[in-house]
Amino acid sequence: MPWLDWYNPLAKPSWTPAPTTIGLIWQILYPIILVSFGFVFVQAIRKKLPWLVAVQFASNLVANRIFTPIQFGIRNLPLVAVDILIVWTTILWMMIAVCRHYCWVAVAQVPYFVWVSLATLLQLRITAMNW
């Protein structure tokens, strides 16, 4: 079954953004993520930033990347709720860690953090409404 045929009938809160809005927000966020995360990894390679900070960014990338296959591939709402909580937690964790070294990178994550905060509340609500 196509993912939209599975997703559309799910009970969702009235404030759920349209899929096109979600796509647009990610089109804005991905360049910010690319530049700031790339900077972190380059600085870690140059040994100007502890590897532990880069690992935090990498863990966020992994958790972010597996969200879509969990949500729309295996269609496991409880597991995707856990994953989005990990994404949210790792953003906060990496912002705190990197601010000691390059505070602009932490500030650049604010839109990402705000969006994922909303997405986390939305996902937890969708999971609760359909479990």
Q: Determine the Cα–Cα distance for residues 121 and 41; give it in Å rounded to an integer.
A: 30
| Per-residue pLDDT at 59 | 97
**pLDDT digit string, tens, across residues 27-47:** 999 999 999 999 999 999 999
pLDDT higher than threshold 90 for residue 9: yes
On whether the pTM is more than 0.85, the answer is yes
pLDDT higher than threshold 90 for residue 123: yes
Longest pairwise C-alpha distance within the chain: 50
Burial (0-12, 13-18, 19+ Cβ within 10 Å), 89: middle
pLDDT band, residue 4 (cuts 50/70/90): confident
